[in-house]
Amino acid sequence: MKQVAIFYRNRENPHAIQYIENNFYSVLGDYINITNYYLDEMDDDEVISADAYMICYEEMLRYMVNHVEDFSKVVVITRNIKQKYLESVLKIPPGTTVLVVNDSKESVLQTMYMIYELGIGHIKLIPYEESLAKAGAYDYIDTAIVTCHSEAFVPKHIRNIHNIRNREVSFETFHKLMVILGLETSPVQSNLLHKVKETMNTDANYINSYLSHFLIEQMLTSVVDQSSKAIVLLDNKNIIHYINEKAYNIFQKNNGEVFSCDAVSSAFPPDTTTPTNSKIITFNDINYLLEKSQISLLDETLGCCLTFQNEADLREKENSLSLQLKQKGFCAKYTFNDIIHESESMKQCISIAKKAALSDYTILIRGDSGTGKELLAQSIHNYSSRRNHPFIAVNCAAIPESLLESELFGYESGAFTGARKAGKVGLFEQAQHGTIFLDEIGDISPNLQTRLLRVLQEKEIMRVGSDKIISTNARVIAATNADLELRIREGRFRNDLFYRLNVIPLNIAPLKQRRDDILPLLKVFLGKKYYDLKPYEQNTLLNYCWPGNVRELENVASYYNTMGHLPESLSHASFSKIDTSEPSSDDTNVLKEGHVQENIYIVRAILKVISQNSSLSTGIGRGSIRCRLQDMNIDIGEGVLKKYLTELKRLGLIEVGVGRGGSHITEKGLSVLHNIQ
């Protein structure tokens, strides 16, 4: 409990003395003990020991020399009027002469100054003096302002009396006393702010300044004390000036003494060129990320701020961020189990991919458009230890070059026209501890190739418009359908970047080279309708070259699900790439292997019908051929059949007679038919 001494001239106004004492107790409560002293009763050399000394008037200071040892603890009491008692004063007609009455000359003058400071200037105030009252100097005045228990001094002829009661101890007085006593606690401040609402204060600017400071202090205290970081503020002599609750709980010793930061701070030698440093330290067997930020005024270092983050807390936050990014769609949906395949080449590709997934090396996936490069990349991510962190896919060819750099690396506020005011976090940062998939990597500009090379080499990025290096731990999986070696020879792709990307190469064969995957994929794409496919339709699909790969196959399946038959374009077999000038096994092998746009099943059926229903001299007409094909469950239109016959004639496999002569097979056609059966 703090000891407060209040000095008065004498005991002549016990009501005012008690009122002032109650004022102090109403705000400071049990934190203080008040003792009143009266100068006319004290010995000249009597010294008072207290934590704070209060006097009612500045003039009393000259009498305190022998009674107080430390004048820095002396506060002059100033007082204010309660708002509700000023209402009648404000209603006094402008220009009225008003007598101000109190129990002493000093109190009268204080009251006058206080009224004028409140902005009440529409009346003329006259100070009361007993000698002038007896001489009749106030006989012309009919209005008076008095304080509590001062009405007895008012001349008898004055009837219009405005009693402003006892004045309240001012906000400024309380604040000065609280600072001296070190009682700026939340309960005391709450009491003080409540009291301000009742008083018409002349120190409004002081209050506003205090409130602003109080709000800022509360905000900073709230933010700093509730921070997940342990924060310590040191001066340049390593003396602790502030330590938040988190740091205190971590670093206090058993005897309650807070640790010394000398050892920690010494790990960071002064370096004006690098104001921010960070490192991992261990304290009580717990790892902390320690960051040091210098605090400077112009070119003079005043101290530093140390922040400590528990490694476990950091990992928990990263996991939480990863979960939020997943909820935003930054996640991999597919696994290796989602890759439908039967072909040996795809089995081998997946086997290599699984081994690669267990490492952190950069992977380059190469394959034609539509082969499923992103599907493979997502599967690798979900098979790796990074599966619980973000997977972010970027199509480098779909984003304009001017935007791709800022998308990948982020940017600072004001980095360029149109930039967000708060800046933007780049995709590399958002993919932290996860995977970033760079599709169509062969299409990025030379400038971005250079920046990407640094990311792969140094594991560091720099936002656009920033000079701050940010470490990144995102794994890079790149993909392309371009011939990168050709682009390197043409000077369009960096040789060193290629080798940084091509650490573990994965090649996905085109669908035409893994025909064993066609029917299994169709079963998934078509569902129940797969079993509606006719044998010749299956053969059509098996022998088509699929330039659009799995994506085209899925589109054909969607068409079949909707229309009930295959697209006509698949039935328009083109033989333009077949050279069958000689009936060699090579030609028929080409047909059989299906490396050209041709439906061997239909070709074989047409040749078979013609061979069985014609001779070298007599033929069979188109109508009859169609009927025979329908008997074989092959239904093609008149126009389509005509195109087949025209192409077979061009290849020398059949001859078409004039008029109704019909078509008959040639020796060459018989040889080809024999080989493809």
> Which residues on neighbouring strands pair with residue 386, listed in sequence order?
none
pLDDT value at 416 more than 80: no
pLDDT one-digit tens code per residue, 375-393: 999 999 999 999 888 899 9
Handedness of CA 248, 251, 257, 259 (dihedral sign): negative
CA dist 65 and 45 (Å) reads 9
User: In what side-by-side order are the strands of the sheet with 168-169?
Assistant: 168-169, 79-82, 199-200
Q: Residue 624 phi/psi, 5° resolution?
A: -65, -40
- Of the candidates 241, 435, 242, 253, the one whose C-alpha atom is nearest the C-alpha of residue 330 is 435
pLDDT band at 305 (very low <50, low <70, confident <90, very high): confident
Instruction: Please indicate whether residue 224 or residue 214 has the higher confidence score (pLDDT).
Output: 224
CA dist 291 and 277 (Å) reads 6
> Which residues on neighbouring strands pair with residue 79, listed in sequence order?
169
- What pLDDT is stored for residue 486 in this prediction? 92
Side chain identity at 560, as an amino acid letter?
A: Y
Instruction: Please indicate whether residue 313 or residue 629 has the higher confidence score (pLDDT).
Output: 629
- Of the candidates 245, 259, 316, 251, the one whose C-alpha atom is nearest the C-alpha of residue 284 is 251
For the chain, the first-to-last Cα distance in angstroms comes to 110
| Non-local CB neighbours of 561 within 8 Å, separated by 6+ positions | 526, 527, 529
Specify whether the backbone of 410 is left (phi greater than 0), alpha (psi in -120 to 50) or beta.
Answer: left
CA 563 to chain centre: 47
pLDDT band at 500 (very low <50, low <70, confident <90, very high): very high
Lowest mean pLDDT among 167-176, 296-305, 560-569, 591-600: 591-600
CA dist 143 and 156 (Å) reads 11
Instruction: Please indicate whether residue 595 or residue 446 has the higher confidence score (pLDDT).
Output: 446
CB 411 within 8 Å of CB 419: yes
CB 455 within 8 Å of CB 427: no
CA dist 189 and 195 (Å) reads 10
Distances 635 to 12, 458, 530, 639 between C-alpha atoms, Å: 126, 63, 19, 12
- Helix residue ranges, H only, 63-203: 83-90, 105-117, 130-134, 171-181, 186-196
CA dist 637 and 660 (Å) reads 19
Give counts: helices (H), strands (E), the chain.
26, 27
In 29-142, which ranges are E strands?
32-38, 52-55, 74-76, 79-82, 97-101, 124-127
CB 582 within 8 Å of CB 669: no
pLDDT band at 596 (very low <50, low <70, confident <90, very high): very low
pLDDT band at 578 (very low <50, low <70, confident <90, very high): very low
- What pLDDT is stored for residue 595 in this prediction? 32
pLDDT value at 487 more than 90: yes
- What pLDDT is stored for residue 373 in this prediction? 95
pLDDT value at 627 more than 90: no
Mean pLDDT of 165-179: 86
Handedness of CA 467, 472, 474, 480 (dihedral sign): positive
- What pLDDT is stored for residue 34 in this prediction? 95
Mean pLDDT of 482-507: 94
Side chain identity at 488, as an amino acid letter?
A: I
pLDDT value at 607 more than 60: yes
Specify whether the backbone of 598 is left (phi greater than 0), alpha (psi in -120 to 50) or beta.
Answer: beta
Q: Residue 501 phi/psi, 5° resolution?
A: -80, -35
- What pLDDT is stored for residue 660 in this prediction? 67
Quote the tokens at residue 630.
């329908």
Q: Which domains, ranges and CATH numbers included, belong to the chain?
A: 1-78+170-224 (3.40.50), 80-168 (3.40.50), 230-310 (3.30.450.20), 329-509 (3.40.50.300), 512-571 (1.10.8), 585-676 (1.10.10.10)
How many C-beta atoms surround the C-beta of residue 13 within 10 A? Answer: 20
pLDDT value at 250 more than 80: no
Q: What is the CB-side half-sphere exposure of residue 481 using CA atoms within 13 A? A: 16
Q: Residue 49 phi/psi, 5° resolution?
A: -100, 120
pLDDT value at 597 more than 70: no
Instruction: Please indicate whether residue 280 or residue 221 has the higher confidence score (pLDDT).
Output: 280
Q: Write down the residue that tokens 């997940």 correspond to.
A: 228
Averaged confidence pLDDT in the chain: 82
pLDDT one-digit tens code per residue, 187-197: 887 788 777 66
pLDDT band at 668 (very low <50, low <70, confident <90, very high): confident
pLDDT band at 265 (very low <50, low <70, confident <90, very high): low
Lowest mean pLDDT among 340-349, 411-420, 489-498: 411-420
Mean pLDDT of 421-439: 87
- What pLDDT is stored for residue 101 in this prediction? 93
Mean pLDDT of 544-567: 90
CA dist 645 and 656 (Å) reads 8
CA dist 442 and 444 (Å) reads 6
pLDDT value at 574 more than 50: no
User: In the chain, what percentage of residues exceed pLDDT 90?
Assistant: 35
Q: Write down the residue that tokens 């010793």 correspond to.
A: 253
- What pLDDT is stored for residue 22 in this prediction? 92
pTM metric for this prediction: 0.47
pLDDT value at 212 more than 80: no
pLDDT value at 584 more than 60: no
User: In the chain, what percentage of residues exceed pLDDT 70?
Assistant: 82
pLDDT band at 263 (very low <50, low <70, confident <90, very high): low
Question: Angle, to 10 degrees, between the axis of helix 204-225 and the axis of helix 186-196?
Answer: 150
